Each structure stands twice: as C-alpha cells, then as structure tokens.
Chain A
Amino acid sequence: MPPLTAERASSLHHAITSATDPATEPGADPGAEVLRLTNVTKSFPGVRALDEVCFDLRRGEVHAVCGENGAGKSTLMKIISGQYQPDGGTIRYKGADTRFANSLEAERAGIAIIHQELNLIPHLSVAENIYLAREPKRGWFVDRAALRRNAQACLDRLGVDIRPDASVKSLSVAQCQMVEIAKALSLNAEILIMDEPTSSLTESETALLFQVIHELKREGVGIVYISHRLDEMAAIVDRVTVLRDGRYVSTHDFAATTVDEIVAHMVGRSLEEKFPERTSTPTADVLLSASGLTRKGVFHDVGFELRRGEILGFAGLMGAGRTEVARAIFGADPLDAGTIRLGERAITVRSPRDAIDHGIAYLSEDRKSHGLAVKMSVVQNLTLASMDSVSNRFGFIDFAAEAKAAKTYIDLLSIRTPSPHQIAKLLSGGNQQKIVIGKWLFRQSRILFFDEPTRGIDVGAKFAIYQLLDRLAAQGIGVVLISSELPEILGLTDRVAVFHEGRITAVLNTRDASQEEIMHYASGHSRPHASGAATP
C-alpha cells in the first residue's frame, strides 16, 4: 500500500458525504457533542455488564475507551451501535433521545462499527463488500459498472491502492480494514467505532491507519476507539474514558494524563512496572539448535540456538517468517532443508506429534483457530496433548487423574472459569491463552514457542503471562517469544533474533540492543557491520 498523501486524503470524507448526500450538515461545528450516554445500564442473566455508565463523543475527536477484558467495553459499543438495547439510562444522538432497535437502524442513522473480527465476505470482491445489500441497481439487476465506479471513488478518497475487483480473501488484514473504513464512509458515518483496529497491523500499516483517522477527525467524524495498546494512543486520541467492572471510572484529556495513570485507573491500583524482573539467567547448555532451515519461498537458511533457561526473542515485521520457522520446527509445516538438534542429537520432525514427543510445544498466534478446541471443556483442552498420561494402556481415560491434573493447572495459572467443565469458547481471551499454556505445561514440554502470547489480552493478564515466562525460564525451560511488540521483546528476552524476509539478519544480546537497532535489522539492513550502532 503506498503511503496516504495528505492531499489525497484531505478531501476524502467531505467528498464522500457531499457526493452521496449533499445535505449532510454542511456547517456542523467540529467540537459539538454528537453523542451522549447517561447512566446506561445493561444486565445479562446473573451479571450487570454495565452499571450507570456515562460517555460522550464530540465531532472530530477520537475518544478512547479503556478497560480490562470484562470491563464492559464491548457491551458499551454494542449499545452505541444498536446491537443491544440498554435496560436503563438515555442515549442522546445529535440532540435527540434515541433508541435503536437494531444495528441496521444505527447504521442508517450514521453509526458504523468496525469489528475486531472484520466482517467482510472473503469470496466477494472489494466493491461487492463495500456495497453489500446496497448494490446500485438497474432494474432488477446489479449495475456492475456503477458498483465498481462508486467503490473506486471511495477507495481513491481514502488514498489506498486497492482494486475494487480484488477478491477480499487476497487482501492483507490492514487492507481489509481500509475496505471496512471505506464501507463505513460510504454509509455517511458520523460516528465510527473501531474495536482493536491495530491488533494485527504492522507498524507501517498502523501509521497509515492513523493518517486516515486524522483525516476523519478533520472531516468531523467522531471516533470511538478501543485498544489495549495504550502507548499508541498518543498519536491520535483526544480523550479517554476508563471503565472497570462494568462501571464508569473517569474521563481524561489524553494530553493531560499518562499511560501509567490510565492503567492504574483500569486495574484499580498502580502498576509500577510493565514487565517483571527476570529472576534467572540462562545457562550455557544448548537445548535446541537449528541450522540451515529452509522452506522454499518462505524462509531460507535460518539458524539459531536456544539455551536452557533462556528466553529468546523472535523480532521482525509481520510476514518476516518468524511464525513459519516456529511452525516448521514444530512439524506443523514441512521443511525443505535444515537440521534440528536437541542438545547434540539431530532429530527429524515430521508431524506435531513428533515434536511433542521431543518436548517441543508451539502456542499459536491464532488461539481460536489453531490453539483451542473451542467446543470442548477447559479440562478436555488442558489434557488434549497428554491423553496418554491420564489414560491406561487400553486408552480408557482415568477421569479422577484428569480432573486432578486440570485442577492443578487451573490453580497454577489462575484460570478464571466457573467450572473445569466450562466450554472453552465462553472464557475470555486471557483465560483461553492460559488454557493453551497449561496444556503444554502439563505435557512437560522443555521447549516452548510462544507466538504473540499477549495479543488481545488485557494488561493484568499480560503481566501474569510475562511472570509465567520468567518462571518457566527459571526452571530451565527454553522459551522462544515471537512478538511484534518491541517493548515486550526488550523487556523479557535474553537474546533476540531479528527476522527480515525469511532470514535472520542479526542475533543480539537484548541488554545491549535498542528498539531502533532491532527495527534497523528488521527492515532489512542485514549486515551487522553496515550499521555503526550494532555491536552485538
């Protein structure tokens, strides 16, 4: 995607609204209040998800909503976007008391939501997605020329280089997001709700998104912004409202507060440090070594060593081959060449089963589709990789032993579940992640690949996972941490291998490395001596 130029973008919202609906508030006051929720309450059987929550949004501002998982953010968003109806309280939208019966009504009134799980239809084209269910018609038929033309206009105004004929499944996540935004704008959205929009974007894609957000602000769109990435917010957010346990805590001007202060409000206490102190140092013995790992067209000649008790970071941009290397070592994808050694012994890994038998575990970045059997219970997920240790030699399960093992790991990892038999799907992201970790701890794995273990997890649960990584290392387990968040890499690892386009461009001692230096290698300046700053 080429960078968005200011000239191309500046006209975007105005052009879209004026092109499609010239009557839309030509002179709307940019700072005017567009939405106000007062004492909104929403209960579900047995729980009060929102308790007298207040929230307001002005035109042309980005108002962030922060809170831990379960604080009520999504419920609030669903009320604003009409998916839920509040039990109590009032919603004033554009100066009038409003109650949307469903999300379609809210959408027609100008409130659009971009979900974390993007709601595009992969098999349809970009244009068909933007105008889904609103296709321009000629008689009974879709006017394909007009469809294409209108979609092209929307995308041009956003300044993104996406063909309207492109099939959505061929787009990157960031491009899909741009399509969603184009769709929202084609609806004349006056309020745009963005739920974790940057969670799967690279830094440059995030920068592009932020540029688009700036333009939307200038055009007077009010943006409700939900994110766990507080450090990014400075670039765009004007105000921030904090929720905790379904209650309203506070609203701040972003410029007049600090990230630490927001976090303190979120968790209801002060959190001095984001990362735990490392309690151990790695030993010299090599647990796992890889050399010459190659998968054609994906990664080439990758080699690294993992020591006992070490946390080794895999840094790099998205698509640099970090996940792919981990998956290949785990046997999930085939390798074309290369050797994997456990200590001195070369091993062959043809399937995940082989890797697991060698004590290697891989925690996928995509929990829901690769990590959890979502319809199965917490217990069943915890023991799935270790059925042989909770069953006799005829394959009959020893339910008492299984329950005991499950209880151990539920307690150990503080997995919050009403019952060990709860279906995994119904737990929060942090707890789901802990189940997957528990699965591999129970398997007594000695080498753990953690692929983006804290993605989409709230601050408190993140810290718990960081502490856990440290303790695992202290026990002599070798941990590989794949992360796109550089602070995480810098805060936790002993060494860091930097990937660029399928190769390791540098292996640095984390203590001596800086964020800039890692970015330098990650963006492909491969030769260590080419950079004056690099002294690994």
Chain B
Amino acid sequence: MSDLSTTTKSVPQSAREPGEPKARMMNDKKKDLIQKFAALASLLLLVAVFAMTSDAFLTVNNGMTIALQVTSIAYLGIGATCVIITGGIDLSVGSVLALAGVVAALAVKAGVPVPLGMVLGVLVGAFCGLLNGLCVTRLKLPPFIATLGMMLVARGIALQITGARAVSGLGESFGELGNGALFRIVTIGDDGFPNVVFPGIPYPVILMVVAAIGVAVMLSRTTLGRHIYAVGSNAEAARLSGVNVARVTLITYILSGSLAGLTGCVLMSRLVTAQPNEGVMYELDAIASAVIGGTSLIGGVGTISGTAIGAFVIGILRNGLNMNGVSAFTQQIIIGLVILLTVWIDQMRNRR
C-alpha cells in the first residue's frame, strides 16, 4: 500500500465538513469518564450522607461487610455486562446460582472433596450458560425468552433434586470459601477473648476483584473483548467483518453462567447451607448494577468499572439504609428510583 500514500495527495480536499459540531467531538473515552464520574460522584455522596447519619457506617468492619455483601451482585453484574454489551440479556442467573450451589452441596454431601464440589458448581453454571447461548445462537430465540426459560428450568431442577429442602450439615470446610479471609489479624486480649484487629480481606472480595480485573482486561484489551463490543454495536457489520458472531455471543452466556455458578457456591458457602430458594430476583440486581454503571441495554456500550460502581451503589444503599433503620420495603422503593434516575441522566446525556 506504500505507493498509495504518495499519490493520494491529489485527492480533492473538498470533503471538508464544517457542519461537524465541536460538541460532538467528545470521544468515547471522555464520555465514559463523565458517565463514571457521575456514578462515582453519587457513590461518594451516598457514603458521605450515610457517614453523617450513622457512626458505625464508616468503619473498616462495615467496609468489609459491604464489600462482602456486594460480591454476589458484582459477580452477576460482571457477567450481565458482557451479555448486555452484545445486545442480549441473561435473566436466568438467579436460578442458575441456586442450582449450582445445590449441586455443589449435594456433591460434597456425597463425599466429593469441597474444592472439587465447588468446581462442579461452577461447571453447572457454565453448562446452563452454554444452553442459554445455544438457544440464542442456534435456535435464534430472543435472549429474553431463552433465559426466561432457563430461569424456570434451573429453579425447577434445584427444587426437584433437593425436594425443596435446604441441604445442610456440610461441614466446616464448605464454609471456608464464603467466610474465610486473607490477612485476618486476631490478638488474644487480656481477658482471654480474641480481639479482631483487622477482619482480613474475605475470599469472596478477593475473587470479586480478580474477576472484575480479569473481565475488564478481557473487554478492553483483547480481541475477544473488541468483538463483543462489535457484535453489540452492529452484529451484521461484525459478521461481514469476519467476526464469528455466534461464538462471541455464546462465550458471553457461558461467562455469565459460570459467574452465576461461582456466585451460587460463594453464597451457599457463606451460609454453610445450600438453599434451592436462594438468589430469587438476583438477576435484576445484576442488570441494575450494569445499567447504573452506564451499560446500554441496546448493546455496544458498557464497562466493568461502571458495573462495579453500580454494584457498590446498590450495596451501599442497602447497607446504609439498613443502618438507618429504613424498612426493606422502603429500600426497594429507593433503589427503584435510583435506577430510574441514573438511566434518565444517562439518556439525557446521550440525547443532546
């Protein structure tokens, strides 16, 4: 192509576009920053307000509690973000996490070592994701319908195989993943009781950070990530550019399913009991965290950092409202309004 460059100079320079408004020149990155700034600012505002209204809010202990509470929304939100960027949706994650957790618990109960049981749980999630993805790419079902079906099927199986009863008596090691922590510092006080100096970083929080960074790098720095955005931006253009649209779509559903499986294992481990009724409506929290973080339900737009902020907005709202003694019903109302408000602000910003 090198000889093109010398000759193309004679191309008429008349293709000038004076009509290009400068305000539109704001590029992707700046927009992204503003979006995140808005979400981050509201997050900080929440922290400030709750810190003033409750003394116990801004403490290391409570910080770790919030981080721990946020983990399940965050895992699911990360998966949801990838699926939504391709223009899809995954409604099945709440049920899939229950099925995965129950399968892991039943396996452990049957004598399978705990780590292997947990891996099995994640694989069950991945398999559900695979089925979702195949329904979408092969059977060409709308993602809403495909995952709605899986939501019912997975929940049904979880209830069926447990007889709708909780699986308990799993042993202490089953609780390690959900309740253990790294760098936990405990001293024995003068009175002989243990004194927690630093509660440590819970394993689920570490997993959350690893998953978030891993998927964020995948989305922003790899070919696969670029293809995920391309599919959501314009699937036909992506296909005609040689992107294997079906494969990329399938991968996002498998990822979402796997993360749901992980969520199931972590949640059940925290309770040291596997509840087939766990995780009802969690898919909506996941979608909400992605949407608050600026992911567009039309596809093509979204970031993991945004979703992480969105997950913390929801988590901090819940925690702070709890500490202020706001009822669970009122909390729902407030979180609902927050979702409406953030998405409305986002739309205003995009409309211009």
**With contact pairs A353-B244, A411-B5 given, residues A374 and B15 touching in the complex (Cβ less than 8 Å):** no
Interface residue tally for chain A (C-beta within 8 Å)? 76
Taking the nearest CB of chain A, how far is it from the CB of B325, in angstroms? 44
| Most A CB within 10 A of own CB, among B4, B222, B240 | B240
Point out the residue from A268, A387, A431, A441 that lies within 8 Å of B17, measured CB to CB: A431
In the complex, identify which listed stretch (A311-319, A460-468, A524-532) lies at the interface while the others stay far away.
Answer: A460-468
The verdict on A87 contacting chain B, using a C-beta distance below 8 Å, is no
Chain A residues near B55 (CB-CB < 8 A): none
- What's the Cα separation between A418 and B236 when bound, in Å? 27
In the complex, identify which listed stretch (A33-41, A141-149, A164-172, A389-397) lies at the interface while the others stay far away.
Answer: A389-397
- What's the Cα separation between A441 and B2 when bound, in Å? 11
B233 near A374: Cβ-Cβ < 8 Å:
yes
Point out the residue from A45, A69, A414 that lies within 8 Å of B23, measured CB to CB: A45
In the complex, identify which listed stretch (B24-32, B74-82, B271-279) lies at the interface while the others stay far away.
Answer: B24-32
Chain B residues near A48 (CB-CB < 8 A): 18
B21 near A47: Cβ-Cβ < 8 Å:
yes
Map CB proximity to A onto B13-52 as digits: 1 under 8 Å, 0 otherwise. Answer: 1111111111111011100000000000000000000000
A375 near B233: Cβ-Cβ < 8 Å:
yes
The verdict on B281 contacting chain A, using a C-beta distance below 8 Å, is no
* Dominant secondary structure of chain B at its interface with chain A: helix
- What's the Cα separation between A245 and B221 when bound, in Å? 40
Chain B residues near A408 (CB-CB < 8 A): 1, 5
The verdict on B211 contacting chain A, using a C-beta distance below 8 Å, is no
A464 near B15: Cβ-Cβ < 8 Å:
yes
Point out the residue from B222, B237, B300 that lies within 8 Å of A371, measured CB to CB: B237
* A246 closest partner in B (C-beta): B18
B20 near A47: Cβ-Cβ < 8 Å:
yes
Taking the nearest CB of chain A, how far is it from the CB of B46, in angstroms? 30
**With contact pairs A391-B223, A463-B12, A471-B8 given, residues A371 and B240 touching in the complex (Cβ less than 8 Å):** yes
The verdict on B11 contacting chain A, using a C-beta distance below 8 Å, is yes
- What's the Cα separation between A156 and B1 when bound, in Å? 57
Taking the nearest CB of chain B, how far is it from the CB of A256, in angstroms? 25
**With contact pairs A380-B226, A413-B8 given, residues A46 and B22 touching in the complex (Cβ less than 8 Å):** yes
Taking the nearest CB of chain B, how far is it from the CB of A97, in angstroms? 27
B222 near A396: Cβ-Cβ < 8 Å:
yes
Chain A residues near B244 (CB-CB < 8 A): 351, 353
Chain A residues near B223 (CB-CB < 8 A): 387-388, 391, 395-397
* B232 closest partner in A (C-beta): A375
The verdict on A211 contacting chain B, using a C-beta distance below 8 Å, is no
* A48 closest partner in B (C-beta): B18
Map CB proximity to B onto A492-523 as digits: 1 under 8 Å, 0 otherwise. Answer: 00000000000000000000000000000000
Point out the residue from B10, B18, B222, B242 that lies within 8 Å of A467, measured CB to CB: B10
A332 near B240: Cβ-Cβ < 8 Å:
yes
B19 near A72: Cβ-Cβ < 8 Å:
yes
**With contact pairs A373-B233, A412-B4, A471-B4 given, residues A267 and B14 touching in the complex (Cβ less than 8 Å):** yes
B242 near A421: Cβ-Cβ < 8 Å:
no
Map CB proximity to B onto A455-488 as digits: 1 under 8 Å, 0 otherwise. Answer: 0001111011001100100010000000000000
The verdict on B318 contacting chain A, using a C-beta distance below 8 Å, is no
B16 near A384: Cβ-Cβ < 8 Å:
no
- What's the Cα separation between A463 and B15 when bound, in Å? 10
Chain B residues near A5 (CB-CB < 8 A): none
- What's the Cα separation between A439 and B238 when bound, in Å? 12
Chain B residues near A68 (CB-CB < 8 A): 14-16
A441 near B241: Cβ-Cβ < 8 Å:
no
Point out the residue from B16, B21, B240 that lies within 8 Å of A245, measured CB to CB: B16
The verdict on A109 contacting chain B, using a C-beta distance below 8 Å, is no
**With contact pairs A45-B22, A371-B240, A475-B3 given, residues A384 and B230 touching in the complex (Cβ less than 8 Å):** yes
The verdict on B229 contacting chain A, using a C-beta distance below 8 Å, is yes
- What's the Cα separation between A418 and B223 when bound, in Å? 25
The verdict on A71 contacting chain B, using a C-beta distance below 8 Å, is yes
The verdict on B239 contacting chain A, using a C-beta distance below 8 Å, is yes
**With contact pairs A70-B17, A439-B241 given, residues A397 and B4 touching in the complex (Cβ less than 8 Å):** no
Point out the residue from A45, A245, A463, A475 that lies within 8 Å of B18, measured CB to CB: A245
Chain A residues near B19 (CB-CB < 8 A): 47, 49, 69-72, 75, 246, 428
The residues in A between 428 and 444 inclusive whose CB is less than 8 angstroms from any CB of B are 428, 430-431, 439, 441, 444
* B301 closest partner in A (C-beta): A375
The verdict on A296 contacting chain B, using a C-beta distance below 8 Å, is no
**With contact pairs A371-B240, A397-B226, A464-B12 given, residues A376 and B17 touching in the complex (Cβ less than 8 Å):** no
* A444 closest partner in B (C-beta): B1
- What's the Cα separation between A396 and B223 when bound, in Å? 6
The verdict on A423 contacting chain B, using a C-beta distance below 8 Å, is yes
The verdict on A116 contacting chain B, using a C-beta distance below 8 Å, is no
Taking the nearest CB of chain A, how far is it from the CB of B225, in angstroms? 8
The verdict on A385 contacting chain B, using a C-beta distance below 8 Å, is yes
The residues in A between 67 and 96 inclusive whose CB is less than 8 angstroms from any CB of B are 68-72, 75
B242 near A416: Cβ-Cβ < 8 Å:
no
Chain B residues near A491 (CB-CB < 8 A): none
B241 near A352: Cβ-Cβ < 8 Å:
yes
B17 near A69: Cβ-Cβ < 8 Å:
yes
Taking the nearest CB of chain A, how far is it from the CB of B219, in angstroms? 11
The residues in B between 188 and 230 inclusive whose CB is less than 8 angstroms from any CB of A are 221-224, 226-227, 229-230
The residues in B between 299 and 342 inclusive whose CB is less than 8 angstroms from any CB of A are 300-301
Chain A residues near B59 (CB-CB < 8 A): none
Chain B residues near A345 (CB-CB < 8 A): none
A441 near B240: Cβ-Cβ < 8 Å:
no
Point out the residue from B8, B17, B28 that lies within 8 Å of A428, measured CB to CB: B17
A364 near B240: Cβ-Cβ < 8 Å:
yes
**With contact pairs A369-B234, A373-B230, A418-B20 given, residues A475 and B4 touching in the complex (Cβ less than 8 Å):** yes
The verdict on A426 contacting chain B, using a C-beta distance below 8 Å, is yes
Taking the nearest CB of chain B, how far is it from the CB of A305, in angstroms? 24
**With contact pairs A45-B21, A396-B221 given, residues A414 and B229 touching in the complex (Cβ less than 8 Å):** no
Taking the nearest CB of chain A, how far is it from the CB of B349, in angstroms? 14
Chain A residues near B10 (CB-CB < 8 A): 467
Chain A residues near B301 (CB-CB < 8 A): 375
- What's the Cα separation between A396 and B244 when bound, in Å? 18
Chain B residues near A352 (CB-CB < 8 A): 239-242
* A420 closest partner in B (C-beta): B27
* B15 closest partner in A (C-beta): A461
A421 near B27: Cβ-Cβ < 8 Å:
yes
Taking the nearest CB of chain A, how far is it from the CB of B7, in angstroms? 6
The verdict on A54 contacting chain B, using a C-beta distance below 8 Å, is no
The verdict on A138 contacting chain B, using a C-beta distance below 8 Å, is no
Taking the nearest CB of chain B, how far is it from the CB of A309, in angstroms? 14
- B residues sitting closer than 8 Å to A (CB atoms) are 1, 3-5, 7-8, 10-25, 27-29, 221-224, 226-227, 229-230, 232-234, 236-244, 300-301
Nearest 9 A/B pairs, CB to CB:
A46-B22, A460-B14, A70-B19, A373-B233, A45-B23, A44-B21, A70-B17, A375-B300, A421-B27
22 A-B Cβ contacts within 8 A? A70-B20, A330-B240, A351-B244, A352-B242, A370-B234, A370-B240, A376-B229, A376-B233, A377-B27, A380-B226, A380-B229, A380-B230, A384-B226, A387-B226, A395-B223, A397-B223, A418-B20, A444-B1, A461-B14, A468-B11, A471-B7, A475-B1
